Amino acid sequence: MIPVRGFEGRNIAVLGLGRSGLATARALQAGGARALCWDDSAEARARAEAEGLTLHDLARADAFDDLAALITSPGIPHLYPAPNRHIARAYEAGVPVDNDIGLFFRSFATPEWDEFETVPKVVAVTGSNGKSTTSALIHHILRAAGRPAQLAGNIGRGVLDIEPAGEGEVVVLELSSYQTDLARALTPDIAVFTNLSPDHLDRHGGLGGYFAAKRRLFAEGGPDRAVVGVDEPEGRYLAGQLSEAPDDDRVIRISVDRKLAGPGWQVFARKGFLAEYRKGRQVASIDLRPMKGLPGSHNHQNACAAYAVVRALGLSPRQVEAALASFEGLPHRSQLVGEAGGVRFVNDSKATNTDSAAAALQAFERIRWIAGGLGKDGGIAALAPHLARVSKAYLIGHSARDFALQLGDTPHEICETMDRAVARAAEEAQPGDTVLLAPAAASFDQYADFEARGDDFTRLVRARTG
């Protein structure tokens, strides 16, 4: 646990008592604050009370008297499309609003660090797609190289739930726009921007607000080094803002769209090969094609970002290459879950929008595509340029019929359920085919979340493949 510092003896309200909220309350109390907890869910309040935490009804007229701060969970809206009623009252009362990420950055460094020869560092990863894989990959490479590391944030443990850092340790954080948007302190040593595509636009008041939330990771505290994907205009803009000159190697530009040139520090992947250039000269190259845990250009972008980070932390290209080869991938993200008769079964249940589904469709040849669920605005029309590799689509869930209307000449079958879709795809697949779950839709029509959907696919596949 990271005890929260700076609030000793003061009343701090905690709004939202899920995983991060409960961890925040514990960390506040460990640091000497009085955590006053609230959630509009009676079930969540009961869990907190059973843990011995103090409840504090934020709907009371005097609820904000004598509060030093309100700490809110990231899923609770604080501005768009409208502030949560309790957060709006905090604004009116002049009570500062923060989240667990802000508390982490104000509390992570301790006086004990004065005794360390190598102080701990924080790597924070944000972007639209690839955050989880990039974060996990950085963590994996560091551990494989014998460097102490912890993984937290939007993946793994809550940021205040990790252990205080030891000598030379690296904490890798995956941060969503919900987390970076509100945090009052953001001071990573290395910050990563993977890419940008439209998402959560209602929460951020449009694409500009969404990008602004990501940009705060680089603007609020100013990382010592920034790794920036420059395949979208926003990334090129961000890299340009952070650089003092063309040869400023505090900014490492990454790409999977083009060869990067110039006097600075670049890492890019083309035709399956990752290349590192510094001062206009190539210093390393890695063949990513044999690496089963990193299929497709989207994973090559993740590899470029992770490579840039660990190189900035002092690892050698040879150390990085060995670790990349042993990375097995994350569950529900281009995860190979079975193989039989020359047919591969890949779980990319995390592909809940067309951008991530497009990346999955470009990663494999001869695809038996399982898609559908609770479709988003526009359906799958944006995937038309990526359907050439699809031998047949097997459609499930609420949007199955809507998706069928957008498939044009692509063969398809409305299966309704995952069970039938897996069965039909497995029956019709030929050696060399890939049965790919990349839904391009949310899961909430049939499953609690994308993990449950991916687990169901995996269970059905393994029952067939052993």
Q: Could you write out the DSSP letters of every residue in 396-448?
A: ESTTHHHHHHT-TTS-EEEEESHHHHHHHHHHH--TT-EEEE--SSBSTTTSS
Strands (E), 59-213: 69-72, 97-98, 121-126, 149-153, 170-174, 190-193
Does some domain include residue 461?
yes
Does some domain include residue 5?
no
Domain boundary among 77, 98, 119: 98
Element (H, E) at 373: none
For the chain, the domain total comes to 3
Are 152 and 79 contained in the same domain? no
User: How many Cβ atoms from other residues are within 10 Å of residue 57's Cβ?
Assistant: 11
Are 70 and 115 contained in the same domain? no
pLDDT tens digits along 193-251:
999 988 889 999 999 999 999 999 999 988 999 999 999 999 999 999 999 999 999 99
Domain boundary among 83, 98, 113: 98
The model's pTM: 0.89
Are 407 and 348 contained in the same domain? yes
Is 133 marked as a binding-site residue? yes
pLDDT tens digits along 16-55:
999 899 999 999 999 999 999 999 999 999 999 999 999 9
> In this prediction, what percent of the chain has a pLDDT beyond 90?
94
**Residue 78 in tokens:** 């604080």
φ/ψ of residue 371, rounded to 5: -140, 160
Q: Determine the pLDDT at residue 282.
A: 97
Q: Determine the pLDDT at residue 199.
A: 81
Are 352 and 447 contained in the same domain? yes
Q: Determine the pLDDT at residue 198.
A: 84
Domain boundary among 325, 349, 381: 325
- Quick check: helix, strand or coil at residue 253? strand
Are 307 and 361 contained in the same domain? no
**Residue 366 in tokens:** 């001869």
Are 266 and 158 contained in the same domain? yes
Does some domain include residue 32?
yes
- Quick check: helix, strand or coil at residue 378? coil
Is 130 marked as a binding-site residue? yes
**Residue 195 in tokens:** 């890419």
Place of tokens 């709004």: 15
pLDDT tens digits along 183-193:
999 999 999 99
Are 94 and 109 contained in the same domain? no
Is 240 marked as a binding-site residue? no
Are 319 and 205 contained in the same domain? yes
Does some domain include residue 345?
yes
Q: Could you write out the DSSP letters of every residue in 23-41?
A: HHHHHHHHTT-EEEEE-S-
Q: Determine the pLDDT at residue 200.
A: 85
CA distances from 231 to 96, 258, 277 (A): 37, 8, 17
Are 64 and 34 contained in the same domain? yes
Range 410-437 average pLDDT: 98
Q: Are 362 and 431 in contact (CB under 8 A)?
A: no
Are 339 and 318 contained in the same domain? no
Supply the DSSP symbol for 374.
B
Q: Are 415 and 421 in contact (CB under 8 A)?
A: yes
**Residue 394 in tokens:** 């097997």
Range 86-101 average pLDDT: 98
Which of these, 385, 332, 327, 331, lies nearest to 355 by C-alpha position? Answer: 385
Query: Which structural domain range is residue 430 located in?
Result: 335-465
Instruction: Please report, for the domain that includes residue 438, its CATH number.
Output: 3.90.190.20
**Cis link prior to 81 (omega < 30° from 0)?**
yes
Contacts of 336 (CB under 8 A, 6+ apart): 292, 329, 344, 345, 346
**Residue 345 in tokens:** 């079964």
Give the CA diameter of the chain. 68
Cα separation, 224 vs 250, whole angstroms: 7
Q: Determine the pLDDT at residue 87.
A: 98
* Residue type at 213 in one-letter notation: A
Instruction: Please report, for the domain that includes residue 34, its CATH number.
Output: 3.40.50.720
Supply the DSSP symbol for 165.
P
For the cut 90, the answer to whether the pLDDT of residue 355 exceeds it is no
**Residue 131 in tokens:** 């955050």
Instruction: Please report, for the domain that includes residue 129, its CATH number.
Output: 3.40.1190.10
- Quick check: helix, strand or coil at residue 227? strand
Does some domain include residue 37?
yes
CA distances from 127 to 142, 198, 260 (A): 21, 11, 20
Are 241 and 378 contained in the same domain? no
Q: Determine the pLDDT at residue 411.
A: 98
pLDDT tens digits along 271-295:
999 999 999 999 999 999 999 899 9
Does some domain include residue 2?
no
Q: Could you write out the DSSP letters of every residue in 45-96?
A: HHHHHHTTPEE--TTSTTTTTT-SEEEE-TTS-SSSS---HHHHHHHHHT--
Contacts of 61 (CB under 8 A, 6+ apart): none
Q: Are 37 and 47 in contact (CB under 8 A)?
A: no
pLDDT tens digits along 151-190:
999 987 899 999 999 999 999 999 999 999 999 999 999 9
Does some domain include residue 114?
yes
Cα separation, 372 vs 380, whole angstroms: 9
Q: Are 30 and 3 in contact (CB under 8 A)?
A: yes
Is 131 marked as a binding-site residue? yes
**Residue 199 in tokens:** 């998402």
Does some domain include residue 330?
no
Strands (E), 59-120: 69-72, 97-98
Are 371 and 272 contained in the same domain? no
